[in-house]
Amino acid sequence: MRSDWIVTGIVLALAHPSTVVAQDGTSPQPERARVAFAGALPRLEGSRLKATLVEVTYQPGDSSTAHRHPCPVVGYVIEGSYRTRSGDEPEAVFTAGQTFYEAPGAVHRVSANASRERPVRFLAYFVCESEGPLTAPAP
């Protein structure tokens, strides 16, 4: 199966949420889904794709050392404020409900909790073509 078919299916499923209708066929409920991120992924061969979802928590003031990921990463902030800088992108802060993207191989120079009072929790969704570590130290 080609990787662009998988990505297209995921995007279509998220972009076209279903509306829940009452059993009597009246008063539809509001949509329960929204597109949180849509973006093109780099060309992937596709026969060995693996998706991994990692929940990351940084306590107040915590951060990690510079690192990189071998595959594209889409992040979604669950709670708190996440400060990041990846590749040539400027430093940014993302808060609950916001998403971010990291290109494969880009050096992740800043990965930190933007708050000194509250923890931050986010999901990191990796789409990789092979087995191996999801994170490696930056040179």
Range of the domain at 122: 36-137
**What are phi and psi for residue 78, nearest 5 degrees?**
-85, -45
**Looking at 24-33, 70-79, 83-92, which range is the least confident one?**
24-33
**Predicted confidence (pLDDT) at residue 18 exceeds the cutoff of 50:** no
Query: In the prediction, which pLDDT does 48 show?
Result: 79
Task: With beta carbons less than 8 A apart as the criterion, state whether 58 and 70 touch.
Answer: no
Sign, CA dihedral 116-121-122-124, equals positive
Of 96 and 6, the one with more pLDDT: 96
The overall average pLDDT reported for the chain is 81
In a domain, 49, yes or no: yes
Q: Answer yes or no: is 14 within a domain.
A: no
Q: Which of 136, 135, 114, 113 is nearest to 126 (CA)?
A: 135
When divided into structural domains, the chain yields a total of 1
Global confidence as pTM: 0.71
Q: Is residue 1 part of a domain?
A: no
Element (DSSP H or E) covering residue 12: helix 3-15
Q: How high is the pLDDT of residue 7?
A: 42
Give domain status of residue 18, yes or no.
no
CATH of the domain at 125: 2.60.120.10
> How confident is the model at residue 28, as a pLDDT?
63
Least confident of 24-28, 66-70, 80-84: 24-28
Q: Which residue has the higher pLDDT, 32 or 68?
A: 68
In the three-class reduction of DSSP (H, G, I as helix; E, B as strand; rest coil), residue 7 is classed as helix
